[in-house]
Amino acid sequence: MGIPRTETSDDPTMHADLTTLLYAMDLTGVFVFGLSGGTLAVRKKLDIFGVMVLSLAAALAGGVCRDLLIGAVPPASLHDDRYLWAALAAGLVAFFFYPQINRLGKPVMVLDAAGLGLFAVAGCGKALAYGLSPLPAALLGVMTACGGGVARDLLVAEVPRVLREEIYAMAALVGALVVIAGQWLALPPVPVAVSGAVAVFGLRVVSVLRGWSAPRAPGS
């Protein structure tokens, strides 16, 4: 994945574990977001080409933007075929198994929440590994998490969820802050990364179920 060593520890085993975990989260996030894009495309009655395009856009847009901004070029999805295969596989799964996926009740929301957590943590962790300070790393974590969803929604002429849903970008920010706090406190990075992803997923799902929303301008 091309992630350099971080400064949180001198233990090479810990660095290897963190690099492996961030890669696994990134790749899993690609598949999950690809499923969300493909599922939305099937719901919008697009053909198989449209399903694959939406799956690729949802899965890869955020990570590509992140990698370009931190100088990790070419982006991971272009020099590691597994990213593309994961996104394409997600599109095919959504196309052929939409009825089963739809039984989740709110499939796009659940898949979106899972991808949001994985990408927020992986994006922030990779930005920190490339030497960014906490604030831009947190912003890149949020952008990684939200970018694919924005591309997906715009392609089907919907207002992106990040601009209209209850708690979306704020949930991703929580995950990024967990990663940053863990590094600042010198906590074991692997449990911190897992905790951050779980926190994002839980906050996003609960916010939808409870109808929580971010503050709005007075009188809006």
DSSP state letters, 142-169: HHHHHHHHHHHHHHTT---HHHHSSSSH
Q: Helix (H, G, I), strand (E, B), or coil: what is residue 47?
A: coil
pLDDT value at residue 159? 87
pLDDT at res. 132: 95
**Half-sphere exposure (CA, 13 Å, Cβ side) for 206?**
7
State the pLDDT at residue 107.
Answer: 77
**What stretches in the chain show pLDDT beneath 70?**
1-16, 165-166, 219-220
Q: What is the pLDDT of residues 111-137, one digit of tens each?
A: 888 999 999 999 999 999 999 999 999
Q: Could you tell me the two tokens for 145?
A: 């998490």
Other C-beta atoms lying within 10 Å of the C-beta of residue 180: 22
Task: Give residue-wise pLDDT tens across range 183-215.
Answer: 999 999 889 999 999 999 999 999 888 888 777
- Give the list of residues 6+ apart from residue 67 with CB closer than 8 angstroms, or none: 73, 74, 75, 76, 77, 126
Side chain identity, residue 142? V
